[in-house]
Structure 1
Amino acid sequence: MKTLGLIGGMSWESSAQYYRILNEEVRRRRGGTHSAQLLLWSFDFHRIEQLQHAGQWDALAVEMAEGARRLQAGGAQLLLICTNTMHRLADAVTDAVPVPLLHIADPTAARIKADGLQRIGLLGTAFTMEQDFYRGRLERTHGLDVLVPDEDDRRTVHRIIYEELITGVVRDASRQAYVEVIQRLVARGAQGIILGCTEIMLLIGQQDSPVPLFDTTTLHALAAIDAALDD
């Protein structure tokens, strides 16, 4: 079993889900008392969130590279950035260490294409929905047609993530707001919806959507176990 290196704490609410999924999946596949072999570098998200909203991406790149180096020093053989937004700095991680990085968008796109879908809605932070680092990978590398919510809906989706989900707050009113955003994306032709923030799984499930949901947290973790157990 390869040792996984998790760059987490962004937020720890979703990192905890990674830890659970990784260990449950190894136990499911190997049985008995087997569990995942992993290392976790967990940031204080308060500092990360402040730098994000200040647009200090160069400073964040330094932080991410240092986290990758710490995991490499600990013996990690495959890296995971346990957040969609911070994949904006995936190149900073791959430039810092020779350890391969499993990009969160790739297993997500693979599942969407395996399901025969082409036009997909994307929910996430404003950074993920509006900037090119994530949408561009889905479109140019994987050939998907990506839809994002309109400006007001993007503001709502982003606010709920940062004001509620990253602190573990799950509200019925916010779930309903997301359901309505999803419905509007479906009305525009979305055949499925990417939950493109690792905390959204805490709020929304398949029962809340008329089209398939693609939970990036779960898909990323399962792909990591595929790689870790590939003998």
Structure 2
Amino acid sequence: MGLAGGIDKDGSRATELLAAGFDSVEFGTVAGGIAGHPDGSAAALAARLADWRASASGAAPRIGVGLGRPPGAPPAALADGWLAGLALVTGVADYVSLNLSAAANRPLLAAAQWPLLARAFAAVVAWRAAMAAAGGCSIELAVKLPLGAAGEPLPGVARLAVAAGVDRLTVVRADGATDFARVAALAREIDGQAALVAVGGIRSAADVAAARRAGAAGVQVHRLFVDEGAAGVARLRAGG
């Protein structure tokens, strides 16, 4: 069970959130600056997380960082923005989440933008491979995208990401979703080529169990933690 991104965008609550009982905690979304579009958010978050790691003792949750484009950067700069962010957070994060669920990036989900996305996914996967070949730190790659509502086609971008070689899809369930049928349908479609993590509307242990039955390898919570804090995490772990 993980904490979804958006609650702490700059690492200022790292000590609190990493002690709240999660298996993973996602920070951000942040960006690395690129030519013509400066952005220090990824660098600032990386510095805070590095300080936390230096002072931490014992087992720690996995740390994730959501990555996006710098404000005002055009869609064509997506790959450059992701790569700039990756270079900054690799070494302090266990995984990055390439965030296509944010409002600014949702237009990129249109089929006309799929060639651009395919190139961006390929660039990120190639960068990671080059880092590993050079003996550098490896990092898990996730893509976060909206799952869509009942009756809509499953997100085609999920297939692009899996084909490129990402490790995980974090799928955001539609507001008001009452079942996990779309999670199950996507799990069948990708057939184990990447792990699925479900986020949105996870409020009880029954929801966690339903997500697991649908094929999710894990879940993330957001509103539950906002409303209940660490007590909500403990309740889910206790089967409540």
Which structure has more relative contact order (CA 8 Å, sep 6+)? It is 1
Higher strand share: 2
TM-score bracket, normalised by the shorter chain, equals 0.3 to 0.5
Q: Which has the higher helix share?
A: 1
TM-score (norm 2): 0.35
